[in-house]
Structure 1
Amino acid sequence: MKKVTFKLNELMGKHRVRSIRKLSEDTGINRYTLSKMYDNELTRMDAATLSTLCNYFGCELHELIDLTDKE
């Protein structure tokens, strides 16, 4: 079985975004949503949120999310 994982922590480090709060302020995405995504605890994701994050980081979707084997 496959599992979706988010690479938000990697993108934040690469782009020197130091906090979820800063990312939330810059994107308008709820801090709770970003925190859950950062911790890979998010179970549902809105397409607009994915688009906003990809635009913010200047990345493609595969750089933000990954499909891995479930442990």
Structure 2
Amino acid sequence: MIKCHISRIMGERKLKIVDVARETGINRGTITRLYHESASRIELEAVEALCRYFDCQVGDLFEYQPSDND
């Protein structure tokens, strides 16, 4: 399973979904799905925009965690 840390990062910086969407140009629905970890896919351009906005690496946003089925 891929764990998304955007909610933690946003919480630490006291950011709202609408703020991130406005500043990155990423659709608010996409940010919401990432925030709630319900996204099934994401465009690389969106990942790049998030990394640029948060000044972080991809590994800071996403983490692989083996599931119970592995």
TM-score for both structures, normalised by structure 1: 0.88
Q: Which has the higher strand share?
A: 1
* Corresponding residue number in structure 2 for 1:64: 61
Name the SS of the counterpart of 2:37 in structure 1.
coil
**1:1-16 pair list within 5 angstroms:** 3-16=1-14
**Relative contact order, CA 8 A, sep 6+: which one is greater?**
1
- How many residue pairs match? The answer is 68
Provide the secondary structure at the position in 2 that maps to 1:66. Answer: strand
1:1-71 alignment to 2 at 5 Å?
A: 3-17=1-15, 19-71=16-68
Aligned-pair identity in percent equals: 25
Gaps of 5+ in 1: none
Q: List per-residue Cα deviations over 1:9-42 (Å, max 9, x = no partner).
A: 111122221x111111111100110100111100
SS in 1 for 2:45: helix
Structure 1 segments of 4 or more deviating over 4 A? none
Report if aligned partners of 1:5, 1:66 keep a CA contact under 8 Å in 2: yes
